[in-house]
Amino acid sequence: MLTNVNATRMELLQLRRRVALAGRGHYLLSEKRDEISRNLLKIAKEIQPLRKEVLSQLRGAFGRFILAQGITEPEEAKAALEVPVKQVRLAVNFARIMNVKVPQLKSETEGQVICYGFASTSGELDIALMQLEKAFDGLIKLAEKEKQAYLLAVELQMTRRRVNVLEHIVIPNLHETIRFIFDKLTEIERDNITRLMKITDIIRA
């Protein structure tokens, strides 16, 4: 219950307006919470198979690298990978999901991932690099989705807290204060009526 309030009709009217406003805020925040939950669930369903695919590609690439190391001389393998010719540029744009600013990543590549001659290297190294290149695109998409999920989860937690504060603290306290003021006004009105009745009895006597 709110303290230090004046038991007046004006105060009662203002508190009723605040209750209506708090109720509206509670409804809108509840809608926002539910919509964020739906979007978060949708992104989570996209993340799971994407992560599985990326991990599978990385395991395959690393396995091929190990095979290539066993076949190719260490110096030749090091020389083959020493001068990369493929460049990746990452552009970050932003979109809004339920007023939450989330990143959207887009990559632009130039050049070829295989930047060496084939005479002194094995085919396993070629396959490893191509698998790693394919996994890289998935990694960018996975990073985008996981960052979106994180930001939405943070916003969902904050929204839930606001909904709970309104539902369990603010609105009940306002209702309790309204009842207190209403009871006070009723008591004052009853006292005034009793006083008027006594004055009327005195005048009649």
Q: pLDDT, tens digit, for every residue of 19-50?
A: 999 999 999 999 999 999 999 999 999 999 99
Q: Is the pLDDT of residue 78 over 70?
A: no
Q: What is the pLDDT of residue 84?
A: 63
Each residue's pLDDT tens digit, 116-151: 555 556 667 777 777 878 888 888 999 999 999 999
Neighbours of 110 (CB within 10 A): 9
Share of the chain above pLDDT 90, in %: 41
Instruction: Name all domains of the chain by residue range, CATH numbers in brackets.
Output: 13-198 (1.10.287.3240)
Q: Is the pLDDT of residue 72 over 60?
A: yes
Residues 6+ apart with CB under 8 A from 174: 2, 15, 18, 19, 22
Q: What is the pLDDT of residue 74?
A: 65
CA 101 vs. chain centroid, Å, equals: 9
Q: Is the pLDDT of residue 112 over 90?
A: no
For the whole prediction, is pTM greater than 0.85?
no
The upper half-sphere exposure of residue 28, i.e. CA atoms within 13 Å in the direction of its Cβ, equals 8
Residue type, 38: R
Q: What is the mean pLDDT of residues 7-11?
A: 85
Both tokens of 184, joined, read 């006070």
Q: Is the pLDDT of residue 159 over 80?
A: yes
CA–CA–CA angle 92, 95, 99 (5° rounding)? 140
